[in-house]
């Protein structure tokens, strides 16, 4: 869950940085970003509800995420 939270924070920070650089971001892009974040949270909740703690513990060291977020390493981001 901490990993998911970090990924969401990175996505939101990147989105916020872009918004400040370009105030006329297309609303369709914003909605797509919101929908993506909502889907990630929904999928995570579904996964946690479907799997017992024992099952989650057995796979905690072998994750295969469907997305990788690459961001700027600049401390201002």
How many CA atoms lie within 13 Å of 46's alpha carbon, on the beta-carbon side? 6
3-class DSSP assignment, residue 7:
helix
With respect to residue 48, please indicate whether it lies within any of the assigned structural domains.
Answer: no
With respect to residue 15, please indicate whether it lies within any of the assigned structural domains.
Answer: yes
Q: What is the DSSP letter of 70?
A: -
The 10s digit of each residue's pLDDT in 25-59 is 677 788 888 899 999 999 888 887 887 777 777 77
With respect to residue 77, please indicate whether it lies within any of the assigned structural domains.
Answer: no
Range of the domain at 12: 1-34
With respect to residue 1, please indicate whether it lies within any of the assigned structural domains.
Answer: yes
With respect to residue 54, please indicate whether it lies within any of the assigned structural domains.
Answer: no
The 10s digit of each residue's pLDDT in 50-72 is 877 777 777 777 777 777 788 77
With respect to residue 13, please indicate whether it lies within any of the assigned structural domains.
Answer: yes
């Amino acid at each position: 869950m901490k990993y998911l939270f970090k990924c969401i924070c990175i996505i939101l920070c990147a989105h916020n940085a872009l918004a400040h650089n370009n105030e006329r971001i297309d609303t369709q892009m914003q909605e797509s970003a919101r929908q993506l974040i909502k889907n990630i949270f929904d999928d995570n909740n579904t996964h946690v509800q479907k799997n017992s703690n024992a099952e989650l513990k057995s796979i905690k060291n072998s994750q295969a995420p469907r997305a990788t977020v690459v961001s700027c390493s600049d401390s201002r981001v």
